[in-house]
Amino acid sequence: MLIGGTALLLGGGGLAAYATTALAGNNTPDTMSGHQQHTASAITISCPDVGERLRTVPRSAQLSVSKGLSSLDKQVHDAYHKMMGGSGADVLNPLKAQRQKTIKMMVSAIAKNTKRPSYLLKMSGCTTKPVDEGAGAGGGDSTKSVQDGWYQGQNQTQGADQNQDQNQQDQNQQDQNQQDQQGQDQQGQQGGQQGQAGGPSPDDFVDINNVQPNADAPPFAAPQGGNASTGTFTTECGRNEDGHFNSDNVIVTPGVSNGAHHTHDYVGNKATDAFANDNKLAASDTTCGNGDQSTHYWPVLRKLDGNAEQKPGAAQDANVGTTLTPATVTLTFRGSQVGQVEAMPRFMKIITGDAKAFTNGTKNANASWSCTGFEDRQLKDKYPLCPEGSQVVRTFAFQNCWNGQDIDSGNHRDHVTFSDQNGACPQGFKAIPQLVQRITYDVPQGQSFAVDSFPEQLHKPVTDHGDFINVMPDQLMSKAVDCINGGRNCT
């Protein structure tokens, strides 16, 4: 066994010391591609996702909740980097105290105009998570294939009542209490040997030639046969040639700059930032050629070349490397397998995937990675190594069922869900056009790229996610629905 010490330059300019371990016969650390082989004992920080448990957020509390969520992310960010500093200092207890204060503020703001969500107060405690532990631990099976329902049906339990959420949180808190001391002991023992500071790991990559087909060919195509609505509607919005970047998240943390803590790539609505309300979006120009003012965004993909560039309007938050411009961006709406679709309301907001899936588990994960020429092979928790001449492909297939009432929800998920594998929406939901965002990239050969992420998520591919705000004028949405239901392919 070979053990060596090294250091990684973080985005903020600090050095995080860590150790690397290579078993005899394994590859040596890949310093040229910007990452190192981490040890089995390397850890990150895992905290309960307060945003996921939000149910009702009154308008009067929205800004307080946005600031609270952003503060919770910043607290984890700072604790993670302190832990990576190698001092072995107590990190989890101070973090818990910070989170208690912030969550209490959020609960008080919400309670002024609706039922007090006291269950959130049980979510302050965090634990450590082994870096080598898969994303499925704590949230779902990390070995699912496309055919197992990775893309459809994974959110059928979203409508469970709040009592179930509270029961689950009670159990989570018990688990956390048991693990808190263990985590503190682990920190003290490991000191600076927490392993890969920032990620990704060589284990996060796989040669696409070694992946067995697990999806339809072509994947994400419009439904066919039977009662399906077989048409499509495609909107052309460019590749972000204008350089629209920021580290905001207008859906999750409106009104807060740098609410995402990673950089987003935008196409469509030109006004999208943390402070863009519906009126501002409706008055904005767009990069889409058909007058579609919708907002589409996703985390940037970076080349792991050590470049510490910072895009205008975006903070860095330890995300380092040259930002890659997509080679192509395709935005297509498709129909339902079991019947016609209904128009989605203007200003509906949808998030697909989970930026914290590595620590949250895969319940809401919806990443999909592949290579051109190999798209019958879809990867959810690995980056593809594509052969020469083949491009990396990211695909986001959004939720296709709507509750018929709300354009958003407290956790930004409960108002929409996926149909089952037969194409049927759950009771109380109706079929809407399904957005499929497909983005391709020319990347250098080898383990040379990674998606932007929260620092404790280690740039894991399973954390990839897409965001959408429907700002189509009603007439254009009607055209899209008519084309889809009529079996036509329109733009």
Taking the model in full, what pTM does it have? 0.82
Count of alpha carbons within 13 angstroms of residue 409, beta-carbon side: 20
Give me the pLDDT at residue 478, please.
Answer: 98
Report the C-alpha gap between 374 and 386 in whole angstroms: 9
Burial class (CB in 10 A: 0-12, 13-18, 19+), 13: exposed
Model pLDDT for residues 335-384, shown as the tens digit of each residue? 999 999 999 999 999 999 999 999 999 999 999 999 999 999 999 999 99
What three-state secondary structure class fits 79?
helix
137 or 218: which leads in pLDDT: 218
Q: How many CB atoms lie within 10 A of CB 63?
A: 14
Phi/psi of residue 43, each to 5°? -135, 160
Are β-strands 205-207 and 383-385 bridged in parallel, bridged antiparallel, or unpaired? parallel
Burial class (CB in 10 A: 0-12, 13-18, 19+), 365: buried
Model pLDDT for residues 87-126, shown as the tens digit of each residue? 556 899 999 999 999 999 999 999 999 999 999 999 999 9
Give me the pLDDT at residue 166, please.
Answer: 44
Give me the pLDDT at residue 87, please.
Answer: 54
Highest mean pLDDT among 195-199, 305-309, 413-417: 413-417
